[in-house]
């Protein structure tokens, strides 16, 4: 009993200390970073979501000491994704720490990564400030398990990325794991199964109050306005919906206009990722490695996906998706009203794998021509036609033709549509394509050859009732 009491006072004491530290950090930061540049105005939910709905396409970056073993431990290939090697390879904490000692990505150029994302048509970057292994890519004051103290590299990766993002107009966002396999008050004692859902850590609240929240205060005060706080690892037994709601409020108290994904709480329905109801915390749903089968008008969601089969770098994962598949998935996601967060897992030297780079460059070429049909697009109003997908912006329908009709006639399932004109998005001259309307179908006459074998976009401009 006395011990329990003692513990309680320790937690209360620690909470007070953490609040004081948070207050100190807040009072020492500039007004602009504090409120994300929206000092005088409290934004509505729609206004907060605005940039994100406009963006539609972002880059996910999974990077940490797991890039060093790159999927192999003690000469054996470890199953699962690269960033899970600590758990899946049953690697003890002290052994895993040695990978950080070898993490020296001297080839890292924040500017090149951000330019690669921007040129691909991506409007935001979500990078792992901390993944489940607990390693911090920035200079955290509350731990030595970070880039400054545990590696020979000793450069604040998030600081360099924040500067490059600002320069290139890309929003910087952080992925931050609630689960932590390294911190003794979180899961670390669960070794060899760090992800053991049946276990509870008696000190978990202390980890939240004196560690997790302080880290978030650092991330949300020292790196400028952050677009999204993307939580994960919320499925563990010690995390609850009330804790999620509290964390959501805490993050927004630091940057009111920031967005927070639904993995902050317990509402996510497995890998399908959407929230079970509006009762749960979070601004958007997070399908993982999958795209919802139907459009979801009025629901904010973002599919995150890998280009091969891993998030964190694995030297031998060559199962790359084709450029065709990636571009069509982007169009598919946009046609259902969602965002596409496409992952890269940089190598331990600091370079994005060449296979990822090639794909992003090819997507960028497509986006340079067709970006208008993705950025700011809303869900299809004609469902999913046989030949491809449809996105919408204002009075324009963007017909993403994956399967070019052999006879040159594109049938659009639209009743009584008043079409003003049709043209190919790739055609700078906007030459009118002949359109005939009748019954339940609008027919557009096309050339016999697809201008783009992957996805040629035909724009249908609808008459507005003025």
**What is the contact surface with ligand H79 in residues (CB under 6 A)?**
62, 81, 83-84, 232, 235, 270-271, 288, 304, 311
Using the minimum distance from each CB to ligand H79, give the nearer residue, 209 or 302. Answer: 302
- 64's enclosing H/E stretch is none
Instruction: Give the shortest CB-303-to-ligand H79 separation in angstroms.
Output: 11
Contacts of 314 (CB under 8 A, 6+ apart): 70, 71, 81, 82, 308, 345
Distance CA 408, CA 314 (A): 44
Using the minimum distance from each CB to ligand H79, give the nearer residue, 232 or 455. Answer: 232
Using the minimum distance from each CB to ligand H79, give the nearer residue, 284 or 311. Answer: 311
CA distances (Å), origin 103, targets 97, 142, 175, 259: 10, 20, 20, 31
Using the minimum distance from each CB to ligand H79, give the nearer residue, 345 or 388. Answer: 345
Q: Are 227 and 259 spatial neighbours (Cβ–Cβ below 8 Å)?
A: yes
Instruction: Give the shortest CB-454-to-ligand H79 separation in angstroms.
Output: 26
Q: Are 343 and 359 spatial neighbours (Cβ–Cβ below 8 Å)?
A: no
CA distances (Å), origin 418, targets 103, 388, 422, 444: 60, 21, 11, 13
Using the minimum distance from each CB to ligand H79, give the nearer residue, 60 or 366. Answer: 60
Instruction: Give the shortest CB-271-to-ligand H79 separation in angstroms.
Output: 5
Instruction: Give the shortest CB-353-to-ligand H79 separation in angstroms.
Output: 17
Instruction: Give the shortest CB-466-to-ligand H79 separation in angstroms.
Output: 46
CA distances (Å), origin 337, targets 25, 392, 399, 423, 456: 38, 9, 15, 23, 19
Contacts of 241 (CB under 8 A, 6+ apart): 265, 266, 267, 280, 281
Q: Do strands 419-424 and 302-305 pair parallel, antiparallel, or not at all (unpaired)?
A: unpaired
Using the minimum distance from each CB to ligand H79, give the nearer residue, 230 or 248. Answer: 230
Cβ atoms < 10 Å from Cβ of 465: 6
Instruction: Give the shortest CB-275-to-ligand H79 separation in angstroms.
Output: 13
Using the minimum distance from each CB to ligand H79, give the nearer residue, 84 or 340. Answer: 84
Q: Are 441 and 411 spatial neighbours (Cβ–Cβ below 8 Å)?
A: yes
Instruction: Give the shortest CB-254-to-ligand H79 separation in angstroms.
Output: 23
Cβ atoms < 10 Å from Cβ of 44: 9
Residue nearest to ligand H79 (CB): 235
Instruction: Give the shortest CB-270-to-ligand H79 separation in angstroms.
Output: 4
Using the minimum distance from each CB to ligand H79, give the nearer residue, 118 or 263. Answer: 263
């Amino acid at each position: 009993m006395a011990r329990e009491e003692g513990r309680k006072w320790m937690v209360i004491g620690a909470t007070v200390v953490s609040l004081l530290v948070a207050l100190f950090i807040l009072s020492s930061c500039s007004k602009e970073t504090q409120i994300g540049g929206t000092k005088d105005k409290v934004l509505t939910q729609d206004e907060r979501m605005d940039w994100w709905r406009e963006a539609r396409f972002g880059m996910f970056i999974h990077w940490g000491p797991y890039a060093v073993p790159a999927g192999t431990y003690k000469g054996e290939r470890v199953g699962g994704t690269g960033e899970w090697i600590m758990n899946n390879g049953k690697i003890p904490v002290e052994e895993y720490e040695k990978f950080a000692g070898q993490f020296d990505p001297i080839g890292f150029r924040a500017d090149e990564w951000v330019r690669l994302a921007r040129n691909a048509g991506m409007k935001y970057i979500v990078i792992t400030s901390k993944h489940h292994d607990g390693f911090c890519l920035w200079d955290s004051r509350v731990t030595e398990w970070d880039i400054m103290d545990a590696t020979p590299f000793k450069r604040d990766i998030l600081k360099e990325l924040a500067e490059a993002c600002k320069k290139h107009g890309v929003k910087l966002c952080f992925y931050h794991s609630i689960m932590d396999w390294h911190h003794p008050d979180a899961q670390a004692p669960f070794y060899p199964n760090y992800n053991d859902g049946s276990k509870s850590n008696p000190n978990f609240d202390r980890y939240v109050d004196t560690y997790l929240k302080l880290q978030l205060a650092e991330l949300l005060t020292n790196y400028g306005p952050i677009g999204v706080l993307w939580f994960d690892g919320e499925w563990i037994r010690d995390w609850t919906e009330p804790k999620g709601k509290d964390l959501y409020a805490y993050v927004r108290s630091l940057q009111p206009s920031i967005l927070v994904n639904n993995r902050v709480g317990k509402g996510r329905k497995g890998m399908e990722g959407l929230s079970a109801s509006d009762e749960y915390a979070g601004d958007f749903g997070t399908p993982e490695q999958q795209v919802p089968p139907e459009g979801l008008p009025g629901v904010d969601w973002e599919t995150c996906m890998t280009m091969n089969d891993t998030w964190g770098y694995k030297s031998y994962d060559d199962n790359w998706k084709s450029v065709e598949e990636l571009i069509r998935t982007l169009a598919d996601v946009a046609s259902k009203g969602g965002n596409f967060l496409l992952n890269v897992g940089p190598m331990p030297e600091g370079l994005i794998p060449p296979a990822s780079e090639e794909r992003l460059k090819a997507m960028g070429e497509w986006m340079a021509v067709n970006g208008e049909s993705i950025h700011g697009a809303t869900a299809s109003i004609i469902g999913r036609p046989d030949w491809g997908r449809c996105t919408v912006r204002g009075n324009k329908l963007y017909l993403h033709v994956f399967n070019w009709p052999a006879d040159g006639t594109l049938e659009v399932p639209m009743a009584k549509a008043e079409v003003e004109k049709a043209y190919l998005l790739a055609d700078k001259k906007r030459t009118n394509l002949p359109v005939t309307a009748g019954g339940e179908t609008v027919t557009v006459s096309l050339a016999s050859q697809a201008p783009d074998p992957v996805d040629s976009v035909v724009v249908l401009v609808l008459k507005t009732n003025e």
